[in-house]
Amino acid sequence: MGIITNQGILDKLNARFPNAMLEVSEPKGLLTITTDRETLPKIVAYLKEDASLAFRFLTDITGVHYPEQELPLGVVCHLQSMALNRRIRLKAFLPLNNPRISTLTHLFPGANWMERETYDFFGIIFEGHPDLRRILNMDDMVAFPMRKEFPLEDPNRRDKNDDFFGR
């Protein structure tokens, strides 16, 4: 297997998924692709199953919230190909009123807890997930604490002295 560059990976993805790459960048050499919610799971499956790419290690799935964007919630996946010694970041953005994307648990069983954590903190629903429920917060919690519309601190706290924090 020859050396495959980021451009080589991108060329293969563009050939397989024409017009699906909405944004491409390489911050610090990490190939980063933004696509839509329907295509992201297909790209992940292709990257895993294509023998010449072999992205068979799911490093992380998480969420992001950019309230100023038209589609404010995002799912971010990091994959690694040990065979190529390459990493890739994939993103898909979702509307706040319908934050749904297909699960990756059928491809990577380890996605289970990562998707549960992303649901727990951002409210992103992974359709087809075998057990999508809160993993760290209380079950009856109604907020998603990593969304920016929720305050960083409880405004009713009385157990700390803000003088120590320069406030």
- pLDDT tens per residue across span 37-65: 999 999 999 999 999 999 999 999 999 99
Question: Domain containing 25 — which CATH number?
Answer: 3.30.460.80
The answer to whether position 167 is within a domain reads no
Q: Which domain holds residue 40?
A: 6-153
The answer to whether position 163 is within a domain reads no
The answer to whether position 52 is within a domain reads yes
pLDDT score, position 120: 96
The answer to whether position 129 is within a domain reads yes
Count of domains observed in the chain? 1
The answer to whether position 166 is within a domain reads no
Whether pTM > 0.85 for this model: the answer is: yes
The answer to whether position 91 is within a domain reads yes
Q: For the chain, what is the HEC assignment?
A: CCCCCHHHHHHHHHHHCCCCCCEEECHHHCEEEEECCCCHHHHHHHHHHCCCCCCCEEEEEEEEECCCCCCCEEEEEEEEECCCCEEEEEEEEECCCCCEEECCCCCCCCHHHHHHHHHHHHCCEEECCCCCCCCCCCCCCCCCCCCCCCCCCCCCCCCCCHHHHCC
